[in-house]
Structure 1
Amino acid sequence: MSGFSCPLRVRWGEVDAQGVVFNPNYFAYADVAATEFFRAAGVLTDDHPDMAQSYVVDARASFRSSARFDDLLDMEVSLPRIGRSSYELRVDIRRDGQILTEVSLTYVRALEGRSEPLSDAYRAMLARVAAPD
């Protein structure tokens, strides 16, 4: 289990005619989880240019099972990789402990189209939330 998680309840407008969550919505769910992770890390402020200059450059999902209307989901966020100028967040979307979907989001810090190193402070803030004491 990761160091950070947040809940999300499936709303009616997120399911399709089959009664299951429409697949693109899992990326929106992962974005909600990532935003809450960044909030917990304290980087959603103007004091952290690393955050304002970070962009998703790759997003992938692996679907194992479907969520349905009114399911209460738990989104576990981990930080499997942090490099010089990029990092990956993994969001495991679970229902009752079972992984339904795994989403991987790769972010890169960039200025004027070129990658820039992440600050040590930013790295530490992300790592603190991903692996608390």
Structure 2
Amino acid sequence: MEQPFRYYMQVRYGECDAQKVVYNARYGDFLDLAATEFLHHICDQDQLPGGAFDYQVVKLTIEWKASACYRDQLEITVQASHIGNTSFTLAMDIHNYRTGQFLARGEMVGVAVHPVTVEKMSIPDIMRQALEQGGRGKFIDHAGIHIAKESAGA
């Protein structure tokens, strides 16, 4: 079975306190980035009615297990755990890429809205299929992890 969609990022200085530990609120930002990249990556937005898929986050929960620190490279897995008529739930896990340590788990519930009117709407069939397929085996690398591997001949 292929791995779920993965988003790689590196922790920046401004996301940390004086001890170089990530502020708790920043994990919400990390999950938002991963969700945005996931949704953009799994479906060609030009194929959608109105040319885009938009949503509003109605719930975001985070469970912390360990801290991320300045310059840590994070791997965030993203997969749809529920797809309803108008809402969907993304389950996300954050790991330290280098050590494999589990850092946090997040769950985001989004409601599909019309891109112009922002009124609640049904999830378009194309996006529903994309959420079901989930971009398994795919990734976005904003940490340069895979570039470094290729440069090293891995």
TM-score by length of 2: 0.74
1:121 maps to 126
- Runs of 5+ consecutive residues of structure 2 not aligned to the other structure: 138-154
- Runs of 5+ consecutive residues of structure 1 not aligned to the other structure: none
Aligned positions of 1:1-133 closer than 5 A? 2-45=3-46, 47-49=48-50, 51-52=53-54, 54-95=55-96, 96-110=99-113, 115-131=120-136
Q: Percent same amino acid among aligned pairs? A: 29
Deviation at residue 44 of structure 1 after TM alignment: 4.4
Larger Rg: 2
Q: Which runs of 4+ in 1 moved over 6 A?
A: none
Please report the RMSD computed on the Cα atoms of aligned residues, expressed in angstroms.
Answer: 2.3
SS in 1 for 2:53: helix
For residues 44-88 of structure 1, give each alpha carbon's deviation from its aligned partner in whole angstroms, at most 9, with x where no partner exists. 458355722x11001111011000111111011111111111001
Structure 1 contact 40–129 (Cα < 8 Å) conserved: no
Structure 1 contact 7–73 (Cα < 8 Å) conserved: yes
Q: 1:113 to 1:73 in 2, by over 3 A?
A: closer
Which of the pair is proportionally richer in strand?
1
In 1, the alpha carbon distance for the partners of 2:133 and 2:19 equals 40
